A = this chain, B = another copy of it.
Amino acid sequence: MTTAREDPTGRGAEQDRAAGPTAVRRSGPVLLAEVAAHAGVSLATASRVLSGSRSVGEPHRGRVLAAAQELRYTPNAQAQAVARGASNVVGLIIHDVLDPYFSSIAGGVMRQVEERELVVFLASTHSDVDRELEFVQTMRSHRVRALIICGSRTTDRVHNERLAHELEGYAAAGGQAAVISQDRLGTHAVVPQNRSGARALARELCRLGHRRFAVLAGPRGLLTSRDRLMGFREGLTAEGVDVADLQVLHGEFTREGGESLAAELIAAGPLPTCVFAINDVMALGALAAFRSAGVRVPEDVSLAGFDDIAPLRDVVPSLTSVHLPLEEMGARAAQLALDTEPQTTSQAVKVHAEVVLRDSTRRLA
C-alpha cells in the first residue's frame, strides 16, 4: 500500500505512469516537493538550497535553483512559520488610517518594519475598545513577533484590565509589544509628554497676553485629552490665570468634533481671546467653523492645536501647535518591540513635545 508520503509530488503514483514533464498539473501553488522531484533531489536538499540553511554541493544546488525558477515556486510562508516556530510578521493596531496622526505613526512603523524585511498586519479599531481587544487576539493568533498598539488609551478600567490581560498572554507566549501613549499596560511604551507640552503651550499663550481661554477637549475618558487638559490648566495657574472661568467643552476627538464644539462656543456668547483645541484635527474643524461663522483667526480669536500633524503645512493661517515627532514615535515603538530581548523588562521612552507658535495665535495689544 503506497502512502502519499512516498509520492512527493502529490500526484497519484499509479495513474501517473508517465511521471515525466507531462504530468497532470495539480491546481494551487507549486510545492517544494515538486521542485525537489523536478530537480531529482530529496525534499530536504531542496529545502536546504532554497532556505540556505546548510551548504549543498554543486551538482544539486544548481538544479534545485533552476527547477524552482522554472516552476515559479514560491515557498509557503505560513508553513515555514509553523515549521520554524517563528513568524516574520508585525502587528500594528491604530484607530484610523484616515487620521493623519495615525498614518504618520504608521509611516514610521512601516519604515522600521521594511528595513528588517518583515511584513505588517494592519488593523484599525475606529476607536472601538471591543474591536481593539479583538484585534489583539487576532494578532496573537497569527503569532506576530511584535505588536504595536497606538491610539489614545482610555480610563475605562474594565477594558484596560482585559487588554492588559490579553497582552500578558501575548508576552507569556514570547511576543513583544509596544504601546504608544500609555505605559501602564506592562509593555514597552512611547509616551509623548502631553502634560508638560500643554503646560508649556499655556505659558506661551499667556505670555502673548491671553487671559480668557476655552478648551475644545476630547471625550472625557480619553487619557491623551485628560493629560493635555490637566497640563494646560497647570500652565495657566502658573501664569496666574484663574482656572475657574476656563471654558472646557467636551466632544469627539475628530474634525467634526472640533467643528461642532467651536460652533457651540460661538453660539454660547462672547468668545474668549484664545481657543485651545486638544488636538490638531479638532483645531482644523474649529478653524472651519470659525471661518464659516465669519470669526477671523487670529484677529477675533486665537487658535492653537496639538500634535503638529502634516496637513497643517497647508493651512492658512498657519496653526500654532505642539509638535510631536509622529513618524519617529512610530519608529521608536517599532524598535522597542523589535530590537529588545524577550525577557528584558519593558522600557518607556518619553517624547518631548515642543510648542511651535505660528500665525493663528496673535499677541494681544
Asked if residues B107 and A75 are in contact (CB atoms below 8 Å), the reply is no
Does A270 count as interface, using CB distance less than 8 angstroms? Answer: no
Asked if residues B87 and A98 are in contact (CB atoms below 8 Å), the reply is no
The 8 A CB mask of A99-116 against B (1 = contact, 0 = none) is 010011011001000100
* A103-B103, A137-B74, A141-B74 known; A110 vs B81 contact (CB < 8 Å): no
Residues of B contacting A107 in the complex (Cβ-Cβ under 8 angstroms): 96-98
Residues of B contacting A98 in the complex (Cβ-Cβ under 8 angstroms): 103-104, 107, 310, 327
* A74-B137, A119-B138, A124-B110 known; A173 vs B30 contact (CB < 8 Å): yes
Q: Which of A305-331 contact B (CB under 8 A)?
A: 310-311, 313-316, 327
The 8 A CB mask of A254-270 against B (1 = contact, 0 = none) is 00000000000000000
Asked if residues A28 and B173 are in contact (CB atoms below 8 Å), the reply is yes
* A106-B97, A313-B288 known; A78 vs B72 contact (CB < 8 Å): no
| Residues of A in contact with B (beta carbons under 8 Å apart) | 27-30, 72, 74-79, 81-82, 85, 87, 89, 92, 96-98, 100, 103-104, 106-107, 110, 114, 119-124, 137-138, 140-143, 169, 172-174, 284, 287-288, 291, 310-311, 313-316, 327
